[in-house]
Amino acid sequence: MADCIFCKIISGDIPSTKVYEDEYVLAFRDINPMAPTHVVIIPKRHVQSMNEFENLTEKEQLAILHACKKVAELEGIDQTGYRVVSNCGPDADQSVQHLHFHVLGGGKLSARLA
């Protein structure tokens, strides 16, 4: 989508600090980190939210989950613990209308919902 900030990051029109990339996903550092480690993972194909998850192929779906684990390993938080979050819709405060997951860690996280 031409007006989607995450699609512009994928295309290289907007710079990002890449952490991981494969054929199906891109992972980059959040510009407003909510934890010492805060990486955003997005599918390269635009879908709006988890409500459209079934529009991704099984390979794309699995790539997202694999990327969450891989990012935790690359960031050195896989053994100490991390949180994976995806906000869906206005009541969940989804800020960008492109499916994305946050991998948060690097310290003790609040017990509150992210």
Q: Tell me: the pLDDT tens digits for 33-74?
A: 999 999 999 999 999 999 999 999 999 999 999 999 999 999
Neighbours of 36 (CB within 10 A): 12
Q: Residue 13: pLDDT above 60? A: yes
- Catalytic choice (38, 98, 100, 102): 100
pLDDT at site 110 = 85
- Looking up residue 16, the CATH number of its domain turns out to be 3.30.428.10
Domain of 84, in residue numbers: 5-105
- What does the pLDDT average to over 15-21? 97
Confidence band of 6 (pLDDT split at 50, 70, 90): very high
Domain-located, residue 64: yes
Neighbours of 22 (CB within 10 A): 12
Pick from 38, 13, 26: nearest CA to 105: 38
Domain-located, residue 112: no
pTM reported for the whole predicted model: 0.93
Confidence band of 113 (pLDDT split at 50, 70, 90): low
Domain-located, residue 23: yes
Domain-located, residue 28: yes
Catalytic-residue membership of 100: yes
Backbone angles phi, psi at 53, to 5 degrees: -55, -35
